[in-house]
Structure 1
Amino acid sequence: MSRLKMKVAVETLRLAAPFRISGHVFDSRDAIVVTLDDGAHVGRGEATGVYYIGDDLDHMLAALELARDAIQAHPSRDELRSIMPPGGARNAVDAALWELESKQSGKPVWALAGLDPLRPLRTTFTLGADEPVKMAEQAVAWRQARSIKVKLTGDLDLDIARVNAIRAARGDVWLGVDANQGFSIGDMDALVAAMVAANVSLIEQPLARGQEANLDGYRSPIPLAADESALTLSDVAGLRGRFDVVNIKLDKCGGLTEALMIAAAASEAGLGVMVGCMVCSSLGAAPGFVVGQLCDLVDLDGPTFLKQDRTPGVIYRDGTIWCDEAVWGARPGSLSDASH
């Protein structure tokens, strides 16, 4: 293969409003955008890293420079998994390789991945933690949403009040909660009982990463999803008996290539499969939309938090997300690269 030219740009994705989760408040996220140029076509990939393991902007930039020569030698996506560790930097390069091959071949990414043609996906819309009445008002304002995910902070009484207010305002929606590691095993019985009463369908990452063994033998009538506890393919084997669902995020696992492997391994292990995203633009969400075709649950609302998304961007309509090949990849039969 011909050598590639890699360029790395840094962008700040600014949120329309502060977004609060357990232990953190975000008003922007730094993103890297990697472009790989073969002289005729350009592939792109975006990543914002993984804040809770130190995978920040500086870490991603350093990882890219360390691997620059190997990346520009035009590795395969499988080879990339040996060249770079999991994380945001590899995700951006992996996405760029997928799009580059898509444009070179004139085949859309879903076809390269051996998937059926893309279909719109029902997605959750996430409510950042706030006062219960404000969260209920936002839930009502999101009339199109058919699935809502609620960020909890680990303040049990306040979190229960938040969920009850949202459920009272939107009795029609699928409701899940995301604790972002905010609780201890001693909180679980009270948390689960309150969520059952509110007709909640998913509890995501209730305990801190590293405390997975505390869930051994714990039986919840509501499925438990692993997010921070499931970074890469190697984590899947340890989830059985503790979690029911694995939340795949491409910045965690290092790209669509490994995400597809996780989806297959999780299904084989009898786990439900979910895809999520960090704060991202449509370019960052697009590869997640591909793996989302294999998932039971989809949480790809990252672009909705931004003051300004990319154009063209993903489309949210009637509670679903749709990502056209115009956003990322190549349309079937197209060998041109208008962006080059």
Structure 2
Amino acid sequence: MNFSFEQLALKKRYPLRISRGETTGSVNLFVSVESAGVVGLGEAAPDATADIGTAASCQREIEAFLEASGPVTLDPHDAWQVARDAGLSSYSWAAVDIALWDLLARQAGLPLFRLLGLPLRAVPTSVTIGIVPIEVARERVPEILARTGARYLKIKLGNPAGIDADKAMFEAVRESASTFGVGLRVDANGGWDVTDAKQMMNWLKERGCDYVEQPLPVDANDALPALFSGRALPIFVDESIRVASDVPALADCVDGVNLKLMKCGGVTEALRIVATARAHGLGTMIGCMGESSVAIAAGASLGALFDHIDLDSHLNLAPDPASGITLVDGVVTVPDSPGHGATITC
């Protein structure tokens, strides 16, 4: 197999602010894997707060791994374990893993979802509105909904200014979205303590919120049982779950898990997380970070496995450097063609 790399700068249409800070764009790494004349494409969207925080560091990590380990097996499951044992970051390996699955599907002449034995079926995605001033929310929400035709909004809360600011933000979004008939969800990104989370969940339930994601910080996982007992809304965790082995410890105090390909290391571990979550009777969600349509296509290929979908980062790029997927009635839809369906176009 031959590996090649390309780093591309991605600019967000709107900066995304969450409880931990704001991002305006990123440089992502695109990895191509060629075997017998067929090429698979993957993507890493590094997290600036992680140990491997840049596209350049992801590329160096992958190149060092390839030099040390020798040829990579075409079996993504075996390759994922070798990479995990070698200590590769999830962001770096996600790019390789996605490329391997794309390559296998292209070699088989099948869409990735068919290679995995899945139907082309999915629930509509949420689109995200970050923490912004009230007047900005009132302007931005109608534009986003009119442009995308989305059927759900995910509202970022956990404002460092406190829950009064969160309430004002939610009300502004709800009012601005009222004529569109969309569902509302909330992601606090670990921005609340237990007291605030309980109060906000009761308050949000009265205003039609569907669920709350990551209400508490990761270092407050031990407080989840107290929040879970008597909860007003379903609780999904995101940052608290990285790989499948993290699921059992929280299975009795959450309603569901949100996996991300960048966070878990690609399609291979995503399949394991879904299986583990289902075995524990939990709901499933797939989210995203700062990916283009390349990694979003890989995630959307798994769409039939999820109760909730939050694959919208490509919709906030100006421009998206890749193409191939479409938004149909709010559903991120991959083409019925070999591979995950996305290609680099600029």
2:173 counterpart of 1:166 = yes
* SS at structure 2 position matched to 1:230: coil
Distance 1:211 1:300 in 2: 27
- Residue 132 of structure 2: aligned partner: 130
- Residue 41 of structure 2: aligned partner: 44
Q: Compute the displacement of 1:197 (Å).
A: 2.1
Counterparts of 1:1-340 in structure 2 under 5 Å? 4-57=1-54, 58-69=56-67, 70=69, 72-85=71-84, 87-116=90-119, 118-119=120-121, 121-141=123-143, 142-143=145-146, 144-154=149-159, 155-171=162-178, 172-218=181-227, 219=229, 220-325=231-336, 328-329=339-340
Aligned pairs, how many?
329
Distance 2:78 2:314 in 1: 30
Q: Compute the displacement of 1:227 (Å).
A: 0.6
Distance 1:225 1:71, change over 3 A: farther
Report sequence identity in percent: 30
Q: Which runs of 4+ in 1 moved over 6 A?
A: none
TM-score, reference length from structure 1 = 0.90
Distance 1:200 1:255 in 2: 30
Q: Say which structure is richer in helix.
A: 2
Give the residue type in structure 1 aligned to 2:153.
I
Distance 1:326 1:73 in 2: 26
Distance 1:192 1:19, change over 3 A: same
Give the residue type in structure 2 aligned to 1:156.
I
TM-score, reference length from structure 2 = 0.89
Give the residue type in structure 1 aligned to 2:184.
L
Deviations 1:218-270 (A, max 9, x none): 23121111110011111111222221110010001101111011111111111
Distance 2:116 2:328 in 1: 26
Distance 1:180 1:327 in 2: 36
Distance 1:195 1:279 in 2: 27
* SS at structure 2 position matched to 1:211: helix
Deviations 1:293-318 (A, max 9, x none): 11000000010111111343321233
Q: Is the CA contact (8 Å cut-off) linking 1:150 and 1:175 kept in structure 2?
A: yes
Identify unmatched segments of 5+ residues in structure 2. Answer: none
Q: Is the CA contact (8 Å cut-off) linking 2:124 and 2:309 kept in structure 1?
A: yes
Q: Is the CA contact (8 Å cut-off) linking 1:9 and 1:33 kept in structure 2?
A: yes
Q: Is the CA contact (8 Å cut-off) linking 1:121 and 1:292 kept in structure 2?
A: yes
Distance 1:181 1:59, change over 3 A: farther
